[in-house]
Structure 1
Amino acid sequence: MQQKNRLQTIVGLWTLILFLWSGILSAAPQLIHFWNKSNESNRAMIDHSAWQTLLDRYLDAKHPSGINRFDYANLKANDKRQLKGYLNSLMKRDPRTYSKAEQKAYWINLYNALTVHLIVNRYPVKSIKKIGWFGPWDKKLVTIKGQKLSLNNIEHGILRPIWRDNRIHYAVNCASLGCPNLAEKAYTAANTEKLLEAGAKAYVNHRRGVQFKNGKLLVSSIYHWYKVDFGGRGLIRHLLRYADADLAKRLRDYRGSIEHDYDWRLNKF
């Protein structure tokens, strides 16, 4: 009886943990007002060439699985220093003094570079979720203009509420197989729109984004966690915007429930 009670307690605790963690992920964006400023007259561009060099060297964007893989294990010492230097260079800037378009690219690149930095510093790790009790997303990782920021701050306090663009979810990468691809190009004000559209189309038409399994529509948990961004049942309209012809036909004809899943294994080589 005692063993049964202990088992029930453990199951109950894990259920509570999963519920709370899911709630954190699915929370509505909460704007950090400090960052909601820009200088649209500033035509200056932020240099992301150091990040591009690292992507060129360590990202496999032609993996047969259709999922871009990063070679965390073989990052050389000088490239680790380059990654750290790139992050330091971003932290020294005040993004509010740039245009909104330049800022959008700045925050996406910062998020992705921070994620790679986290994994590299703790490699080998099987999943980003293994870093910390509930993952590293609430850990303060950078300080910019005196403001300490976490990955969650960047995504849910800056990117989502300022731009209100659900394609942000196709841009920020969580180092997981279930995640939309880490883009092979560094984001810039000039290419952000193109990269967001390409990322959305690639993900929707890959089985980890959308697939039919045993007659059921199975989508990435991203669409479940962020219903507030994708519109709940309106998700189908979003998917149809990017779906190839065969998938689009099945989506239009589908009347069943929508299930979701996610693969948290590391997107390593």
Structure 2
Amino acid sequence: MINFELWDTLLRQYVDRQGRVNYLAWKTEQPQVLADWLESQKNLPLKSNSNALEQLALWINLYNAFTISSILETYPLDSILPKIFGVPNWLAFLWFFQRRVYDIFGQRYSLAQIENQILRDELQEPRIHFAIVCASVGCPLLRSGAYFPEQVIQQLDEDAHRFINNPQKVRYDSHSQTLYCNKIFKWYRQDFLKVAPSIPEYIGSYLKIDVPLTATTPISYLDYDWSLNQRIS
């Protein structure tokens, strides 16, 4: 199985406590380290008897490492949503997630395949939506460290608390009694409803407010920010 100590070291070096990535420093100082490390791992055998915690840590780390490696290849860029003459190029955007270009365990995977077929369908842990990153401001903030099997449940719980208690992702307006939340809760609604009766009740189990959220709490989804999640230093 893969040793993620190098990935952990890189994250601690280039990701701050707000989850922002210093791509400029990373690409300037160690432009090929991550790509070379991923290349060196591609023919390792997939451990057939690994448990769910090992699988969770493994595939979350790989998803994020593949994503960040792809961003480093094309950096500098302002957004992960490319535009042609100011018009969003959704085909190129979708291709970024659908292309099977990531070699690991003797196979080629796409980001969508890792997310949907492995993390969602096989492992069925909705908190992965607060952990895997598409590198945009709207998606979960990158953790400044790797995931490890013995810690992954605690790490995912921390990620859920951080995401849901970030007013840029989720907030409750007491005047309008409306719950404003990130579109991740809309796109992956069925994943959250596997463990909670409603989206407001799922959010309410993490959100630090005095008002109880119920299935009848109105929801309004926030605009999604596709600009690159980066730190300029």
Normalised by the length of structure 1, the TM-score is 0.74
Matched, 1:179 2:167: no
Deviation at 1:163, TM superposition (A): 1.0
Counting only pairs closer than 5 Å after superposition, residues 33-44 of structure 1 correspond to structure 2 as none
Residue in 1 that maps onto 2:93: 134
Matched, 1:265 2:227: yes
Residue in 2 that maps onto 1:153: 113
Matched, 1:107 2:59: yes
Matched, 1:123 2:82: no
Structure 1 moving runs of 4+ over 3 Å: none
Residue in 2 that maps onto 1:20: none
Identity of aligned residues (%): 34
Is the 1:96–1:103 contact (alpha carbons within 8 Å) kept by the matching residues of 2?
Answer: no
CA distance in 2, matches of 1:144, 1:150: 11
Gaps of 5+ in 1: 1-44
Query: Judging changes above 3 Å, is the alpha-carbon distance between structure 1 residues 159 and 255 closer, same or farther for their aligned structure 2 residues?
Result: closer
Gaps of 5+ in 2: 83-88
CA distance in 1, matches of 2:121, 2:197: 21
Larger radius of gyration: 1
2:200 paired residue among 236, 245, 250: 236
Is the 2:44–2:106 contact (alpha carbons within 8 Å) kept by the matching residues of 1?
Answer: no
Q: 1:197-243 CA distances to partner (integer Å, 9 max, x unpaired)?
A: 00001111111321135723211000000111112961122112211
Is the 1:90–1:110 contact (alpha carbons within 8 Å) kept by the matching residues of 2?
Answer: no
CA distance in 2, matches of 1:176, 1:233: 29
CA distance in 1, matches of 2:185, 2:79: 20
Residue in 1 that maps onto 2:5: 49
Amino acid at match of 2:16: D
2:30 paired residue among 65, 68, 79: 79
Q: 1:40-81 CA distances to partner (integer Å, 9 max, x unpaired)?
A: xxxxx63111101111111011x4xxxx10011121466232
Query: Judging changes above 3 Å, is the alpha-carbon distance between structure 1 residues 55 and 145 closer, same or farther for their aligned structure 2 residues?
Result: closer
Equivalent pairs, count:
217
Is the 1:54–1:79 contact (alpha carbons within 8 Å) kept by the matching residues of 2?
Answer: no
Query: Judging changes above 3 Å, is the alpha-carbon distance between structure 1 residues 126 and 152 closer, same or farther for their aligned structure 2 residues?
Result: same
Is the 1:176–1:267 contact (alpha carbons within 8 Å) kept by the matching residues of 2?
Answer: yes
Query: Judging changes above 3 Å, is the alpha-carbon distance between structure 1 residues 250 and 209 closer, same or farther for their aligned structure 2 residues?
Result: farther
Is the 1:95–1:103 contact (alpha carbons within 8 Å) kept by the matching residues of 2?
Answer: no
2:185 paired residue among 219, 223, 227: 223
Residue in 1 that maps onto 2:16: 60
Residue in 2 that maps onto 1:190: 150
Is the 1:176–1:263 contact (alpha carbons within 8 Å) kept by the matching residues of 2?
Answer: yes
Query: Judging changes above 3 Å, is the alpha-carbon distance between structure 1 residues 266 and 98 closer, same or farther for their aligned structure 2 residues?
Result: farther
Amino acid at match of 1:182: L
Normalised by the length of structure 2, the TM-score is 0.84
